[in-house]
């Protein structure tokens, strides 16, 4: 009886590959299971339906296909994020470089001791005082340290 149960368990595992299973009892009363019928042809054909892990195999390719698609989507999204990060970094670098160049240019003008002026509301020249010049120099040096460090 244990052999029969073990054989049935084995059949359940290999059933997806087997086409048909035949069951018969010989003259000694022993029950046999086989993929081919006995020579006398007196056997009962048993339909074996896949179950357990074998039943899940048809869905497996869909699972792998879905995993592959998800992996590709994930990679595309990651590449897109990296491209955006690089573009952002490039843009930020250009802005820093522009600020750096402007700060250096302004500092050079202030340090040359030439008269520096702006225009007021009446469109008249307003010259910078020595005290304001020193304050402006400090401001531009600070900006240079911030934007020209890298």
Q: Which two tokens stand for residue 56?
A: 């899940």
Residues of the chain with pLDDT > 70, as a percent, come to: 77
Least confident of 45-49, 71-75, 90-94: 45-49
pLDDT in tens, 49-89: 666 555 555 556 678 888 999 999 999 999 999 999 999 99
Q: Which two tokens stand for residue 65?
A: 């296909």
Phi then psi for residue 45, to 5 deg, are -85, 130
pLDDT for 59 equals 54
pLDDT for 3 equals 60
Which secondary structure element, helix H or strand E, spans residue 25, and what is its range?
Answer: strand 21-25
pLDDT in tens, 108-119: 888 887 888 889
CB 46 within 8 A of CB 59: no
CB 13 within 8 A of CB 54: yes
């Amino acid at each position: 009886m244990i052999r029969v149960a073990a054989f049935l368990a084995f059949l359940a595992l290999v059933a997806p590959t087997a086409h048909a299973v035949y069951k018969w009892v010989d003259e000694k009363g022993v029950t046999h299971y086989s993929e081919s019928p006995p020579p006398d042809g007196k056997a009962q054909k048993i339909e074996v339906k896949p179950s357990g892990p074998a039943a899940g195999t048809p869905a497996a390719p869909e699972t792998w296909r879905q995993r592959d698609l998800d992996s590709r989507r994930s990679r595309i999204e990651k590449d897109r994020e990296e491209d955006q990060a690089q573009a952002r970094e490039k843009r930020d670098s250009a802005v820093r470089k522009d600020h750096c160049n402007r700060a250096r240019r302004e500092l050079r003008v202030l340090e040359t001791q030439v008269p520096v002026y702006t225009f007021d509301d009446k469109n008249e020249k307003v010259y910078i005082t020595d005290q304001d010049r020193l304050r402006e120099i400090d401001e531009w040096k600070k900006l240079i340290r911030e934007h020209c460090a890298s």
